[in-house]
Structure 1
Amino acid sequence: MPTAPQTTDELYQALQENDRRPYGRTRTVTAEELVDAAEQFAEPLPLVHALLELQEAYTYGSEPRKSPVVFARLLTLFDEQPDVFDERLRHTLFWRFKWVAHALRQLPEIPLASLRQWLTEMRDRYEKAGFGLQPYYGQAYQLAAHVGEDTTLAYELWAGRTRTRLSDCEACEICVRARYHLAAGDDERALRVWEPVLAGKESCQEEPARSLSYALLPLLRTGRTDRARELHLAGYRGCRRNPSMSPEVGRHLEFCALTGNEARGLELLAENRNLFDEVDSPLDQFDFLTAVEVLLQRVERLGHGDLPAAGYAGRTWTVAMLRAEVRRRADDLAARFDARNGTTAHTDRRRARLDRAPLLDTLELTLRTRSLDEVAPAAAPAPRTTAAVPEALPELIARARALEEQGHPDAPACWARLRTLVAGPDYTHPDDPAVGPLARLRADLLLDEGNRAGERERYADAVALHEQAAALYDEAGTPDHAALARACAVLARAEIPGPDGDGPEAKASALTAAHAAIVRLHEETPGPAPYVEGRLLRLRATVLGLRLQATGSEEHVAPVLAEADLLHAFATRHDLVGQVSGAMLLHASTHALAGDLPAAVQRIDALLEQLRAHGPAWHLPRTLGLRGRLQLGLRDAQAAYADLAEGLRLAADWPADAVDTSRLHGDLAEACMHLGRPDEALRHLTRSAEVSLRHGSRFDAFYVYSHAARLSLDLGRIEDCIALLDSLLAEPDVVAGELDDRLVAQLRLTRARALHAGEDLKAATAEFVALAAESAGWDDDPGSHAMIAGETAVLLAESGEFGRAREAADQAIAAHARAPRYEQLSNCLRELARLQARQQGADGLSDALAFLADAGRIADEARDAAYEASGRSLDTALAYEHGRVHAYAGAYEEALAALEKALALLGDAGPQDDHAGEWAECVRLAGVVEGIYLERPAPALARLDAAVTRLTALGHTEEAEPLTSLAAQLRDEN
């Protein structure tokens, strides 16, 4: 707090500001400072308000030791000056007797006699004040349940009583009743009691998050797995990182451990690492730590005790180390509570949780399902199919070279084995003429490494590796292989953006020069082996294909086809089936790049026939993938789906790196969208991203995940969307700012929209405000800032913060001037006007009309720029909004005039018009304004009847129904 409040008005304003902060240290420290400030005033009322704020901060900030102390001061003030407490403050004071009872239960150092004495105090105070005792009996039951006594009588004494004004809210009492049945082993009855909370009909500060966490396991035990998954996603978001809800977080960790989602459990544990140090409640610590141990125990039993785990600050933990520490602390807490309570209840409950067997082998909780193997550092996926690697060194070298000549997908496994052997301190090279010198083998390994660097677009590394390989090939006396390595270096160098940038012309120039260099290398190499010459011809054709891809120029088509013909003829003559396939694939892709898709399909069909007859079989998945993409271009989604699915099936026969299954999944997602199967498309998108992640292509993976998140949001799977994005945004390279900042901003933007769709307005607004501030600095992309600032303004307006909304709207308008976003900004401005008029009525009319005036200028600009909106015209939408805004403000004549202008701009609805619904809604609102608010039912009925007749005659019966209903209402009222 910069300066202490000097007046009571300043104090009350500071208290209101603090009340808007999330619970945690910042809010608590500020509340403590405000109590100190309140003590300077002579009147006691400001101090009462400050103490109430402080007790709330302690209670929901998980500091139970301090809450009773503050309440004692409040109670003293009440006893000494009861007149200071009006009815509302008195109600708050007596309500918080329950908070103190709850706080004392959480502290094992408080004797059980003191807990009972406090309940007696509560009962006496309630009786003296004339309050019903149901809240007292509720606390008595909860103490009995905590201690581990027989709760039957205590439960009946509470549950059988009528609720009072001081009873806990309905949602909290439902949770307590449900947990009573849960403790009795009756899952079904507990879930029936819980249903109003689980369905969102009852809620409060901590509900439904608390009930959702308790309901997870009973839902699994009763076979409601989909419901459990749904509530896990929704419930976890409601409690994560919140110190006062650490037990709830723990139950989500336990749920992950018991459903085969140990990797997600570790991810959530890392996200909630703060709870190890910020939870001051021993009882909450006990509950949280027991759940953490359930997770860590499961991970360790699965053989992953050496995985890193997020634990107490100040040191690095493995799963096994953290489990031992957590077990020691939780055992100590259980012993302390049992000693205080004189029972073994906490030790018994702890043992029961730790002894619970998994309820499911696997349950797909999120769109990003990972195993423990995948979260291990430097984890590498094992090849799905790999031929046996020879043990003897000469045979291994010969095998690697033979497979390399074929382009066989098993070659990398052999090279990897050889790389390990050669790097060993005791490596001895075979003295075998068939193997050749060590320099030849080192060159082979460098060539393979350079090829892999090129595939990962690390072109500078590829150039260096290929040039090193060429020098060693020269040393080994294999000039044709040296030429091949140099040709590979030439191609990789051409892929590096030059000083003139990476535009089409610069790229084409670099590739043209690269082609000439490779041709010279080819021509200057005497007597290359057929395999080497085939590779050189393939490189010549490939570089020209890349040039065509960069420019799309018709003049670059024929040279590619000519080189492909040379390759095909040579490969056929020397029976190089892999290069025959490559030449045919070049033909097909060249026709596709030239825009002749039917010819490309014809070439692909010939290639598929060739592959099925002569091989190589590992080219089939890639070829089917290209055919599928061509079918998508020809708008035959069903044929595309068949090809892509077959390609994906065949890809499973080969090592993981042999086929770009990420691309196949991505293309299948597109086919599924065209076929109207968005849920299947979502699965393929997430699998595409997972494959890219396993191969180390993190940008590609996150880009695809971004598409998956937006699709899940479009499908209404809001919690899936948020959970996916939360997982991605918690990745270490994202947190460290190492991933592309614009891609991360897109992920955050989608998350903010999902939060808004999920009605978490506070969190959505905070994220939008942050994004708007960041995007203000995007000088290269003012259009995105205009969009983000506009959406931010709308959310601020929904929260009633119209001053800040105006500021954000002005930012959007300024950015729009640099990069127009006509329709998006017009939509935002009209919505701002509507929100202000609806919330403030006539008082907000002038500001609402200012927003509409801005929208009018945007519409004028769009008209001058010949911009056509994708939906209704901006002028029509503006006229309609003028009608709504004036209606909200009670200016009904102006509203009716604006609506009639909108109807004129729309024109009469026609038989095929897609604006029939919009036209009907405009007529309906005009009828409401004219018939109800202006009390002119006759012209309103004439308007409505004419519209109903027209709409019905044109077949728009659904659109006519609201008008018919309104007309009937007007007739009934008159």
Structure 2
Amino acid sequence: MPTAPAPHPQNTDELYQALQENDRRPYGRTRTVTAEELVETAEQFEEPVPLVHALFELQEAYTYGSEPRKSPVVFARLLTLFDEQPDVFDERLRHLLFWRFKWVAAALRALPEIPLASLRQWLTEMRDRYEKAGLGLQPYYGQAYQLANHVGEDTALAYELWASRTRTRLSDCEACEICERALYHLAAGDDERALRTWEPVLAGKESCQEEPARSVSHSLLPLLRTGSTDRARELHLAGYRSCRRNPSMSQEVGRHLEFCALTGNEARGLELLAENRSLFDEVDSPLDLLGFLTGVEVLLQRVEVLGHGDLPAAGYAGRTWTVAGLRAEVRGRADELAARFDTRNGTTAHTDRRRARLDRAPLLDALELTLRSRSLDDAIAAPDPVPAARAAAAVPDSLTELILRARALDEEGHPDAQACWARLRTLVVARDYTHPDDPAVGPLVQLRADLLSEEASRAGEKDEFADAAALHEEAAALYDDAGLPGQAALARACALFPAVEALEQSADGAEAKVEALTAVHASTVRLHEDTPGLEPYQEARLLRLRATALGLRLQTSGSEEHVAPVLAEVDLLQAFATRHDLDWQISGARMLRASTYALSRDLPAAVTELDALLDRLKAHGPAWHLPRTLGLRGRLRLLLQDPSAAHADLTEGLRLAADWPADALDTTRLHADLAETCLHLGRPDEALRHLTRSAELEMRRGSRTDAFCAYSNAARLSLDMGRVEDCIALLDSLLAEPDVAAGEIDDRLLAQLRLTRARALRAGEDLKAATAEFVALAAESAGWDDDPGSHAMIAAETAVLLGESGDFGRARAAADQALAAHAKAPSYEQVSNCLRELARLQAQQQGSDGLADALAYLADAGRIADEARAAEHEARGRSLDSALAYEHGRVNAHAGEYETALAALEKALALLGEPGRDDDRAGEWAECVRLAGAVEGIYLERVGPALSRVDAAVSHLTASGHTEETELLISLAARLRGEE
């Protein structure tokens, strides 16, 4: 990354260096302020040429920093210098000067306080200057057309005068002119012709500083209107990223917000608005601000129409906004801006265009823009996501009936108990709550204990173990006060488990957990035996807790000696439940038995048990146990290498689970398991849908860490699938979450999200952003003393990316970090690959000048290969030794050391050996032969031996069945024979 310029360059050389460094900065206040300081410095040297360069840099900073009021002032100084000292301007500076007449014309149009007569006068000045300098007038007519369009005059003639003329060296770039022609057709209502005109820009064949981002933002609605929804979605994702938070592209941001509002993506629109909140205060161009605010208002208007005007919205700094409040503020400011332009222009064009945008009806009810689909309802806190229809059916109106219904459902573990408890929580905390005077209901203290017990269960599901244990204990004390020893015993037994779950999963932690679970079982047995008068459902629950404790112990230890005790407890539970006709506990017992078989690695027996259980559930119920049972059988079938059967089970489980609240049946697990199964079946798109659905459900129920993990997996999968923009958009959405910004998410999980995003940026060829993120991650991970392996991986990737950009000084430093981390936690292949790639890059980019540094990288890679050999490490891919020999060949070839290169390549071939029929090294061997043949035949001009080498390799590969690997060799042979 560029270093900060010296505050006061001491000579012109330092000034030019500072100007170059500032030119690498992104547009914004830092670049602009630095440019202003450099102009002041240039003035002190009393040399006109450095001052001209500094003034050009300052005008550029003002133009792309959205400060149109200052750009013409700087240009006036340049024009005066040109008139007074024309010889100071060489051909390049002269070209820049005449080019920027157009910049001034655009800046003046953007300022409603500049009279229309002054705009026309400036165009006359431009025409006169161009004619005097013998320059073609097509650029002048382009500006005349843009002024006519801005004012709202009939543009037909102005368009023809511009578009029919031959382009000159001073014409706007092809991409910008394409955009203007497309917008002309768009204004005429011809979407199809506009899109045909835009195609070279939208396809990436033409681009510039503002393109294709500007064209993309304008093309989104025409694409929707012509049915190209997938293209619109793709361009929105890529185009928005190119303009977000950029003051000079605030109008483009506004059009992306409008696109969200008209496609059923209002929630994403609010998210993007929050990301661009700074634009409210940073945009100094009235015209840009008008376009931005109108797009904002389209979004806010749509949200308010949908009945969500009270949602929070990101707006002007200094106060908290709701959607309705911000819309009123934005409307007032935008109306005033439009009126100022119309007053200046003597037309109603800007008010009319603004009204047309605000009057547009939605084009689609719903278009899935990102992998993280969110609705406006998701923006409202909903702690208990119970389907409304089921909640209404399950909750009685009578308070007495509601309490009794909640307890009855809870006894059998019925999912509808959730809705009853949720309703009771609301009623009990109300000031006017009056507890029923009914012996069947019991005292208020009993109900409070019930609610605490239910709250404890929910805390445990969210891994809030300390809270869960405390709530269970508090509930037990209240049950004692209510004279309910059976319920108190159950609560105390439940309180034993959360503390165990909180134990660390290290080796020592696992041993401690086994001991703790043995103690939990013993304590539960005592509670069971010492509590008189237990009702059957209470005794069955205690029996199930006893079996569960031993099952968890088996899961933790994996010890065969722990199998029999679990099965013995399960038998006790099933026998008791059968005697008392407790169907839900019979099902629970059989589920525990199947799980025990699975944990003891007897998967066929587990599946057989589940087969029988499913038959019983279909005959006797309970129905809500079917999804969970199908889910377990699906997971086991996947382990038994039968993904098709697993998919059938999990899909059916998910279908049946739709009848019940998602939390009660752990639908998130079904989606996650289906995602894994789909990957085994080669269905990545389906897997991605299930992964994101699992993450959404985790997020809604408040399990944010699990949600972020699931989303992280989805992001990596989307990147593996080549859906780069989807990956980046998903991660941008996650990284904008308030708890991420507040530092409440685990730093390693957050680093994983950022690492995936950095890789996606690299895959999307946004190397500048990718490099900045990798460098930041490498610096942060350097402090991970407990995880040097991850730091080695990040530092190695950072080094390669820096090398690709030619920053070999920092690349060497990052590689040294990777080597230091490797010394603590060996990462043979990762670090070796990094060093070899850096060697190639340096030799490729610098030739013989970079050979010494490249060989130093290869020397480091050689030491790693030696270490790996000594440690008897088996490489997962290429052999480190053969890969190193090949890289020596390639590096020396780049540096012109052809004899050394050929010797290294022959060593690599000897290490590889000729590939056999089923040898996966055939491609590597063929490439090594190809490079050796090229070095020998082309650069060393020994054509005969090279041809013999290549022809022999083609024959061998063909005979071994590796015909695809022969294509490049055949092409090289033809070249060596002079046939190409």
- 1:112 paired with 2:122, answer no
**CA–CA distance in 2 between the matches of 1:498 and 1:823?**
31
Q: Counterpart of 2:44 in 1: which secondary structure?
A: coil
State the AA in 2 paired with 1:200: G
- Structure 2 spans left out of the alignment, 5+ residues: none
Q: What is the aligned counterpart of 1:31 among 35, 50, 64? A: 35
Q: After TM superposition, give the deviation of residue 502 of structure 1 in Å.
A: 6.8
**8 Å CA contact retained: 1:500, 1:506:** no
**CA–CA distance in 2 between the matches of 1:381 and 1:434?**
30
- 1:252 paired with 2:256, answer yes
State the AA in 2 paired with 1:854: D
- 1:64 paired with 2:59, answer no
Q: In structure 2, what is the equivalent of residue 968 of structure 1?
A: 974
**CA–CA distance in 2 between the matches of 1:251 and 1:823?**
47
**CA–CA distance in 1 between the matches of 2:710 and 2:468?**
26
**CA–CA distance in 1 between the matches of 2:515 and 2:343?**
83
Q: After TM superposition, give the deviation of residue 383 of structure 1 in Å.
A: 2.1
Aligned residues: 974
Q: In structure 1, what is the equivalent of residue 835 of structure 2?
A: 829
Q: What is the aligned counterpart of 1:760 among 755, 766, 770? A: 766
Residues 495-510 of structure 1: pairs in structure 2 closer than 5 A: 495-497=501-503, 503-510=509-516
Q: After TM superposition, give the deviation of residue 382 of structure 1 in Å.
A: 3.6
- 1:3 paired with 2:7, answer yes
1:861-881 deviation per Cα after TM superposition (whole angstroms, max 9, x unaligned): 111111111111000111111
Residues 954-965 of structure 1: pairs in structure 2 closer than 5 A: 954-965=960-971
Q: After TM superposition, give the deviation of residue 918 of structure 1 in Å.
A: 1.2
- Structure 1 spans left out of the alignment, 5+ residues: none
Q: What is the aligned counterpart of 1:42 among 22, 31, 46? A: 46
Q: In structure 1, what is the equivalent of residue 672 of structure 2?
A: 666
Q: In structure 2, what is the equivalent of residue 710 of structure 1?
A: 716
Q: In structure 2, what is the equivalent of residue 533 of structure 1?
A: 539
Q: Which range moved further: 488-497 or 772-781? A: 488-497
Residue 389 and residue 453 in structure 1: after superposition, are their counterparts in 2 closer, same or farther (change >3 A)? same
Residues 199-238 of structure 1: pairs in structure 2 closer than 5 A: 199-238=203-242
**8 Å CA contact retained: 2:384, 2:422:** no
Q: In structure 2, what is the equivalent of residue 134 of structure 1?
A: 138
Q: What is the aligned counterpart of 2:468 among 462, 465, 481? A: 462
**CA–CA distance in 2 between the matches of 1:39 and 1:510?**
78
State the AA in 1 paired with 2:255: R
State the AA in 2 paired with 1:870: R
Q: Counterpart of 1:118 in 2: which secondary structure?
A: helix
Q: After TM superposition, give the deviation of residue 490 of structure 1 in Å.
A: 2.0
- 1:809 paired with 2:818, answer no
Q: In structure 2, what is the equivalent of residue 418 of structure 1?
A: 424
**CA–CA distance in 2 between the matches of 1:501 and 1:453?**
26
- 1:683 paired with 2:689, answer yes
1:190-244 deviation per Cα after TM superposition (whole angstroms, max 9, x unaligned): 1111111100011111111111111100000000000000000010011000000
- 1:285 paired with 2:289, answer yes
Q: What is the aligned counterpart of 1:21 among 25, 38, 50? A: 25
Q: What is the aligned counterpart of 2:395 among 374, 383, 389? A: 389
**CA–CA distance in 1 between the matches of 2:139 and 2:437?**
91
**CA–CA distance in 2 between the matches of 1:139 and 1:498?**
69
- 1:442 paired with 2:442, answer no
Q: After TM superposition, give the deviation of residue 104 of structure 1 in Å.
A: 0.3
Residues 592-603 of structure 1: pairs in structure 2 closer than 5 A: 592-603=598-609
Q: After TM superposition, give the deviation of residue 828 of structure 1 in Å.
A: 0.7
- 1:367 paired with 2:371, answer yes
State the AA in 2 paired with 1:292: V
Q: Counterpart of 1:367 in 2: which secondary structure?
A: coil
1:776-795 deviation per Cα after TM superposition (whole angstroms, max 9, x unaligned): 11111111111111111111
- TM (normalized to structure 2)? 0.98
- 1:195 paired with 2:188, answer no
**CA–CA distance in 1 between the matches of 2:344 and 2:99?**
26
**8 Å CA contact retained: 2:662, 2:668:** no
Q: After TM superposition, give the deviation of residue 407 of structure 1 in Å.
A: 0.9
Q: After TM superposition, give the deviation of residue 501 of structure 1 in Å.
A: 9.3
**CA–CA distance in 1 between the matches of 2:121 and 2:219?**
33
Q: After TM superposition, give the deviation of residue 2 of structure 1 in Å.
A: 5.8
Residues 750-899 of structure 1: pairs in structure 2 closer than 5 A: 750-899=756-905
Q: In structure 2, what is the equivalent of residue 77 of structure 1?
A: 81
**CA–CA distance in 2 between the matches of 1:391 and 1:604?**
39
Q: What is the aligned counterpart of 1:300 among 288, 304, 326? A: 304
**CA–CA distance in 2 between the matches of 1:175 and 1:849?**
49
Q: Counterpart of 1:313 in 2: which secondary structure?
A: coil
Q: After TM superposition, give the deviation of residue 329 of structure 1 in Å.
A: 0.3
**CA–CA distance in 2 between the matches of 1:434 and 1:526?**
21
Q: Which range moved further: 561-570 or 550-559? A: 550-559
Q: In structure 2, what is the equivalent of residue 327 of structure 1?
A: 331
**8 Å CA contact retained: 1:257, 1:358:** yes
Residues 377-776 of structure 1: pairs in structure 2 closer than 5 A: 377-378=381-382, 380-383=384-387, 385-386=390-391, 387-497=393-503, 503-776=509-782
Q: After TM superposition, give the deviation of residue 665 of structure 1 in Å.
A: 0.6
- 1:930 paired with 2:936, answer yes
Q: Counterpart of 2:122 in 1: which secondary structure?
A: helix
Q: After TM superposition, give the deviation of residue 577 of structure 1 in Å.
A: 0.7
**CA–CA distance in 2 between the matches of 1:395 and 1:704?**
40
Q: After TM superposition, give the deviation of residue 799 of structure 1 in Å.
A: 0.8
Q: In structure 2, what is the equivalent of residue 167 of structure 1?
A: 171
**8 Å CA contact retained: 2:383, 2:702:** no
- 1:266 paired with 2:270, answer yes
Q: What is the aligned counterpart of 2:957 among 951, 955, 972? A: 951
**CA–CA distance in 1 between the matches of 2:394 and 2:771?**
57
Q: In structure 1, what is the equivalent of residue 183 of structure 2?
A: 179
**8 Å CA contact retained: 1:883, 1:899:** yes
State the AA in 2 paired with 1:902: A
1:641-664 deviation per Cα after TM superposition (whole angstroms, max 9, x unaligned): 011111100000012221111111
Q: Counterpart of 1:39 in 2: which secondary structure?
A: helix
1:73-103 deviation per Cα after TM superposition (whole angstroms, max 9, x unaligned): 0111111111111111111111111000000
1:233-273 deviation per Cα after TM superposition (whole angstroms, max 9, x unaligned): 01001100000000001110000000000000000000000
Q: After TM superposition, give the deviation of residue 378 of structure 1 in Å.
A: 4.7
**CA–CA distance in 2 between the matches of 1:495 and 1:801?**
49
1:303-343 deviation per Cα after TM superposition (whole angstroms, max 9, x unaligned): 00000000000000000000000000000000000000000
**CA–CA distance in 2 between the matches of 1:727 and 1:657?**
24
**CA–CA distance in 2 between the matches of 1:567 and 1:381?**
33
**CA–CA distance in 1 between the matches of 2:965 and 2:700?**
51
**8 Å CA contact retained: 2:310, 2:322:** yes
**8 Å CA contact retained: 2:476, 2:491:** yes
